[in-house]
Chain A
Amino acid sequence: MAQHLDPLPHAPIGMVLGLLEHLREAPGGREDLYKLGGPMGYELDELLPVTEAAKRLGLVTVSKGDIELTAEGRSLATAEEPERKRRVGQRLQQLPLISEIRRAVEEGDGRAPRRQFLSELQHQFSPVEAQRQLSTALDWARYGEVFDFDPDAEDFILGS
């Protein structure tokens, strides 16, 4: 695994999709960051992981207090299932942790033990944060159908 990973922001993928839909209806696909908070009933600390996740997936750009949909973010916001799922899956493969797990599963005949990633992540993160990184990676990967998890064997596996 890479020496240093940018940690995944802990945002449920459903909130990221909700953010895209919100921005799609904003004039020009752009909104003041501060406007996302108050009126929608969010504290900034709840919202930051969501905007950060959208940014990491290349779906928005954030600059000078504005948040704006990218071309990919716009087409994803207007796409319907299963097209939306497929596009998210493609974006996810560009994140190191998720693509590493996917590759390990493919090379391991459809299975890769979770503990292997947990111990590697603990070189960089606390044990709790390492677990959260894997939970978030799994939540996103399930949505994009990049990989799944077998709770009995505690292995990451290919989806059905």
Chain B
Amino acid sequence: MTTALPEAALDAAPAAALLRLQAVEQFYGGRIRILGPVDLDVREGEFLSLVGPSGCGKSTLLRIVAGLLHPTRGTVLLRGRPLSGVNPAAAVVFQSFALFPWLTVVDNVALGLEAQGLALMERFKRAQKYIDMVGLSGYERAYPRELSRGMKQLVGLARALALEPELLCMDQPFSALDVLSARTVRDLVLDLWSSTQVKTKTILLVTHSIEEAVAMSDRVVVMRPNPGHVTETVDLRALPRPRRADQPAAREVIDRMYGLLG
């Protein structure tokens, strides 16, 4: 089921699907269904969030979209072509940062670029560009252990963006951060998403926070467990930005989503 705020209906032509999931199901041990069947489009240029309690399959769905996990059943189409293996259009930001402790900030960011066939100088130029963009210049030589959690996640973000992916997948990127650091990183993600500097225009965010999803997204996919499934997709494009949880219109949507999950 899809519901829309009234104004959103004016937006007649929906953007093309960058990624299309059709009747995707995931089984555990071959017998226990933990997710699906799920149909889902990730549209070009949108900020899409998956929200729901633990066990609803939102992170599993993200891993399927990123091509880190091959679904037991169903198909994943990237621009209409079946996806096999890691999604070449996607980069992932992990909750646990996933930085290499023995590499400096700049080496962590440059790491994935070798696989793109860039020469050494180009790799470091590209890494520096994204380090500057997330406000981490000055920390190039720092090791992850010297950084606060907020800064570590900025490195994770710079590393993903440096790949210049069409789709940025973020798996609960703010939940290991304190609230104030999370705020800085969240604002930065929104700034970068709307800026012309960044090539990545499509974002998939997995979060357990309804407030976070409503503050950031064009559309929110609400999921429930046993087995994981989509219960509703909420279109928020008519809700003006920047959004705050204490705005009446945002509050109304947030309350309704709590109702869906309650």
How many residues does chain B have at the interface if contact means C-beta atoms less than 8 Å apart?
A: 28
- Whether A15 touches B148, Cβ cut-off 8 Å, given contacts A42-B179, A46-B178, is yes
Residues of B with C-beta under 8 A to A19: 180
Residues of A with C-beta under 8 A to B154: 14
A107 on interface, CB distance cutoff 8 Å: no
- Whether A84 touches B150, Cβ cut-off 8 Å, given contacts A21-B187, A40-B179, A148-B141, is no
A159 on interface, CB distance cutoff 8 Å: yes
Contact B142 A41 (CB under 8 A): no
Contact A151 B143 (CB under 8 A): yes
A17 on interface, CB distance cutoff 8 Å: yes
B24 on interface, CB distance cutoff 8 Å: no
B117 on interface, CB distance cutoff 8 Å: no
Residues of A with C-beta under 8 A to B94: none
Nearest B residue to A17, CB-CB: B184
* A54 to B183 alpha-carbon distance, docked (Å): 16
How many residue pairs, one in A and one in B, have C-beta atoms under 8 Å apart?
A: 78
Interface string of B115-149 (1 = CB under 8 A from A): 00000000000000000110101111111001111
Interface string of A129-160 (1 = CB under 8 A from B): 00000010011011111001111000000011
* A25 to B139 alpha-carbon distance, docked (Å): 28
Contact A85 B135 (CB under 8 A): yes
Nearest A residue to B135, CB-CB: A81
- Distance (Å) between the CB of A47 and the closest chain B CB? 9
B151 on interface, CB distance cutoff 8 Å: yes
Contact A14 B184 (CB under 8 A): yes
A18 on interface, CB distance cutoff 8 Å: yes
Contact A138 B138 (CB under 8 A): no
Contact B146 A138 (CB under 8 A): yes
- Whether A18 touches B138, Cβ cut-off 8 Å, given contacts A81-B132, A139-B146, A139-B148, is no
* A14 to B183 alpha-carbon distance, docked (Å): 9
B75 on interface, CB distance cutoff 8 Å: no
How many residues does chain A have at the interface if contact means C-beta atoms less than 8 Å apart?
A: 34
Contact B181 A15 (CB under 8 A): yes
B63 on interface, CB distance cutoff 8 Å: no
* A18 to B174 alpha-carbon distance, docked (Å): 13
- For chain B, residues 173 to 202, give those with C-beta under 8 angstroms from any C-beta of chain A: 178-185, 187, 191
Nearest B residue to A47, CB-CB: B180
Contact A135 B132 (CB under 8 A): no
- Distance (Å) between the CB of A70 and the closest chain B CB? 18
* A42 to B178 alpha-carbon distance, docked (Å): 8
- For chain B, residues 4 to 40, give those with C-beta under 8 angstroms from any C-beta of chain A: none
Nearest A residue to B183, CB-CB: A18
* A135 to B143 alpha-carbon distance, docked (Å): 12
* A88 to B211 alpha-carbon distance, docked (Å): 30
- Distance (Å) between the CB of A16 and the closest chain B CB? 8
Across chains A and B, which 5 residue pairs bring their CB atoms closest together, nearest first? Answer: A18-B180, A12-B148, A14-B150, A145-B138, A142-B138
Binding site for B on A (CB under 8 A): 12-15, 17-19, 21-22, 25, 40-42, 46, 50, 80-82, 84-85, 135, 138-139, 141-145, 148-151, 159-160
21 residue pairs of the A-B complex, CB under 8 angstroms, read A12-B148, A13-B148, A15-B150, A18-B179, A18-B180, A18-B183, A41-B179, A42-B179, A46-B178, A50-B180, A81-B135, A82-B132, A85-B135, A139-B147, A139-B148, A141-B138, A142-B138, A142-B139, A142-B142, A143-B135, A149-B141
**In the complex, given contacts A17-B180, A46-B178, A85-B138, what are 17 additional A-B residue pairs having Cβ atoms less than 8 angstroms apart?**
A12-B151, A14-B150, A18-B179, A18-B180, A18-B182, A18-B184, A19-B180, A40-B179, A40-B180, A81-B133, A85-B137, A135-B146, A141-B138, A142-B138, A144-B138, A148-B138, A159-B138
